[in-house]
């Protein structure tokens, strides 16, 4: 089954002449047809267009002929881009390729399929999509995580070779953890955000979800790079990330933040992480306890800053230029309010209201400015810690995947699912989730993710540690 294979293995078969890109696209399409009704990872897919691209693929390119699933908040020419929202589901077709899509095409990859997500990337379970729920391929009664739940479920369920996701507060790493695949958020600015529909512009970052660390490194090679269309894009050299694959980790210093190893973590998660620590120590890594003293401010800081930015970014969805337009409006103001009320779901409305509130007169200094100061403190914690260590280790999520609907009426509990991933976004650092074990619940093995956090622009060391751990298991 080609759909269950890795990019690296498929590229070897293609160059050897054993298979063609058409074979891969057909096998992935077959897998989607067989399981997508059950899992709900894809919102749409166009087999004929993908086959046409496969037939003209340049197999000499590094990703030549490999189909890649795309989270449905990235523009791909001629394809829908719904962001999991009713407001864009009716009549928006992307007129251009996002920067990340342009780079993948240049490397020979084939964008194939639109993957489900929490509406406008606001959520940690993919239950907030207006277009249907995505289910965890390990246990379809449970969530896949979010907001890139469709991407993680597709990769882990062998409905995709690899996929693109976006990460604002953990939206690549957390679903990778809950579904049992690899997901990496690069340093902020490493990958162009041009053509990514914005949630929180100072936090959003595109990254890959893959079956192996080596595939993640390969995709990063062709996703990263400067883009003049994105004012936050970093004009820095991009190393060959695959060069880190296979290097040992003897002598590397790994920090364990005492604020991350706390009560409230599921016992099975703690056991898996402790086993991972021992495994890395056996490979020659030096384990040290560290402190990130402002960790407790992370979730509160995020839920001031991210909604504030979302409130501004989502103001463009007014029913005038594109997207859902209410047919019940009597005047212009009613047109705005009705279109947005009908088009946005409850979680998006909640965050817009929260963001508008913290930006409003009389509350701006009390909330938004104080949150920006707290963000600086969190970033400084990491800067200080990385003077003495090479990477930081933690759980990706404090719990395994919960049941569908379990947190529907408790958004605060859902927000705490990202307690270990949010600080990485606030500091703009790279972080990866790699599978590190399973917890048996009701007779089903639920995956656990190990998060490895690195210095800014040091994805190579993050990948080096992640690959060494992956291969040792």
446 contacts 162 by C-beta, under 8 angstroms: no
- The conformation of residue 84, written as its DSSP 8-state character, comes to T
Please name the helix (run of DSSP H) or strand (run of DSSP E) that holds residue 356, with its range, or none.
helix 346-359
Query: Closest Cα partner for 136 from 165, 97, 179, 169?
Result: 179
446 contacts 139 by C-beta, under 8 angstroms: yes
44 labelled catalytic: no
**How buried is 337 (Cβ within 10 angstroms: 0-12 exposed, 13-18 middle, 19+ buried)?**
middle
What token pair was written down for 93? 């077709």
71 labelled catalytic: yes
**The one catalytic residue among 71, 185, 211, 455:** 71
CB atoms within 10 A of CB 265: 19
- The conformation of residue 330, written as its DSSP 8-state character, comes to S
| 3-class SS of residue 165 | strand
Crossing angle (nearest 10°) for helices 213-223 and 459-472: 160
Q: How far apart are CA 434 and CA 181, in angstroms?
A: 7
Please name the helix (run of DSSP H) or strand (run of DSSP E) that holds residue 112, with its range, or none.
strand 110-115
**How buried is 1 (Cβ within 10 angstroms: 0-12 exposed, 13-18 middle, 19+ buried)?**
exposed
Residues 6+ positions from 402 with CB-CB distance below 8 Å: 125, 142, 143
Q: Where are the beta strands (DSSP E) in 327-400?
A: 391-395
| 3-class SS of residue 417 | helix
Q: How far apart are CA 37 and CA 423, in angstroms?
A: 35
**The one catalytic residue among 5, 85, 147, 148:** 147
Encode 2-41: b = buried (16+ Cβ within 10 Å), e = exposed: bbebbbbbbbeebeeeebbbbbbbbbbbebbeebbeebbb
431 contacts 185 by C-beta, under 8 angstroms: yes
148 labelled catalytic: no
**The one catalytic residue among 129, 148, 171, 397:** 171
Please name the helix (run of DSSP H) or strand (run of DSSP E) that holds residue 437, with its range, or none.
strand 431-441
Does the bond joining 147 to the residue before it have cis omega, within 30 degrees of 0? yes
Query: Closest Cα partner for 450 from 241, 201, 182, 192?
Result: 182
Query: Closest Cα partner for 7 from 51, 71, 49, 68?
Result: 68
- Catalytic site residues? 71, 147, 171
């Amino acid at each position: 089954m080609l759909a269950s294979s890795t990019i690296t293995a498929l590229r070897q078969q293609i160059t050897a002449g054993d298979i063609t890109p058409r074979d891969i696209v057909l096998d992935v399409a077959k897998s989607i047809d067989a399981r997508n009704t059950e899992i709900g990872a894809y919102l749409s897919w166009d087999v004929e267009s993908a086959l046409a691209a496969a037939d003209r693929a340049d197999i000499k390119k590094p990703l030549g002929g490999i189909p890649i699933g795309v989270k449905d908040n990235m523009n791909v020419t001629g394809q829908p881009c719904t962001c999991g929202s009713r407001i864009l589901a009716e009549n928006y077709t992307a007129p251009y390729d996002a920067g990340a899509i342009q780079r993948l095409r240049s490397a020979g990859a084939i964008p194939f399929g639109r993957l489900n997500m929490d509406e406008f990337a606001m959520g940690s379970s993919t239950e907030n999509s207006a277009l249907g729920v995505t289910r965890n391929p390990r246990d379809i009664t449970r969530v896949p995580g979010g907001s890139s739940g469709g991407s993680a479920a597709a990769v882990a369920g062998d409905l995709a070779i690899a996929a693109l996701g976006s990460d604002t507060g953990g939206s690549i790493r957390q679903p990778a953890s809950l579904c049992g695949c690899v997901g990496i958020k690069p340093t902020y600015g490493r990958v162009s955000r041009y053509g990514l529909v914005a949630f929180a512009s100072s936090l959003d970052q595109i990254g890959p979800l893959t079956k192996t660390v080596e595939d993640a490194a390969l995709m990063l090679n062709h996703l990263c790079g400067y883009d003049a269309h994105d004012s936050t894009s970093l004009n820095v050299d991009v190393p060959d990330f695959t060069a880190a694959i296979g290097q040992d980790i003897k002598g590397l210093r790994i920090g364990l933040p005492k604020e991350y190893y706390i009560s409230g973590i599921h016992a099975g998660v703690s056991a898996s992480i402790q086993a991972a620590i021992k495994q890395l120590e056996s490979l020659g890594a030096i384990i040290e306890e560290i402190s990130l003293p402002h960790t407790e401010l992370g979730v509160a800081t995020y839920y001031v800053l991210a909604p504030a930015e979302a409130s501004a970014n989502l103001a463009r969805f007014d029913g005038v230029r594109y997207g859902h337009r209410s047919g019940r409006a009597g005047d212009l103001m009613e047109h705005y309010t009705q279109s947005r009320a009908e088009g946005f779901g409850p979680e998006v409305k909640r965050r817009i209201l929260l963001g508008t509130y913290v930006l409003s007169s009389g509350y701006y200094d009390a909330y938004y400015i104080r949150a920006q100061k707290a963000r600086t403190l969190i970033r400084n914690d990491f800067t200080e810690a990385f003077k003495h260590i090479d990477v930081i280790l933690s759980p990706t999520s404090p719990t395994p995947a919960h049941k569908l609907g379990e947190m529907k009426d408790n958004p605060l509990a859902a927000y705490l699912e990202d307690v270990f991933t949010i600080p990485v976004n606030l500091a703009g650092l790279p972080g990866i989730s790699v599978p590190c074990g399973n917890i048996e619940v009701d007779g089903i093995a639920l995956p656990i993710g190990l998060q490895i956090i690195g210095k800014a622009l040091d994805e190579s060391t993050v990948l080096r540690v992640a690959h060494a751990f992956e291969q040792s298991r």
